[in-house]
């Protein structure tokens, strides 16, 4: 593999942390919406599904970070 084809692990790491930050901010928005008093059961279920999906994405990104830095 040529030098210019190498993966820049620092860029990957910082990019993953940026993605995690963005998803956690999105998750924060969902948790704030969940505090509203006017939500019906379906609204709450939809928020829960969205939150679980985001947290699953974050878990995958954390797993990638962990694999990258596993001795």
pLDDT at 3: 61
State the Cα–Cα distance between residues 20 and 11, nearest whole angstrom.
14
Give the pLDDT confidence of 9-41 residue by residue, as tens digits. Answer: 999 999 999 999 999 999 999 999 999 999 999
> Sorting pLDDT into bands at 50, 70 and 90, what band is 2?
low
The tokens for 14 are 């910082």
Mean pLDDT score of the chain: 93
Average pLDDT over residues 33-60: 97
Query: Does the predicted model carry a pTM greater than 0.95?
Result: no
């Amino acid at each position: 593999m040529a030098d210019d084809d190498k993966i820049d692990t620092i860029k990957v790491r910082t990019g993953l942390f940026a993605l995690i930050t963005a998803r956690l901010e999105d998750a924060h928005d969902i948790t704030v919406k969940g505090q509203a008093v006017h939500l019906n059961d379906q609204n709450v279920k939809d928020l829960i599904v969205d939150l679980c999906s985001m947290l699953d994405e974050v878990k995958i990104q954390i797993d990638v970070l962990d694999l990258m830095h596993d001795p």
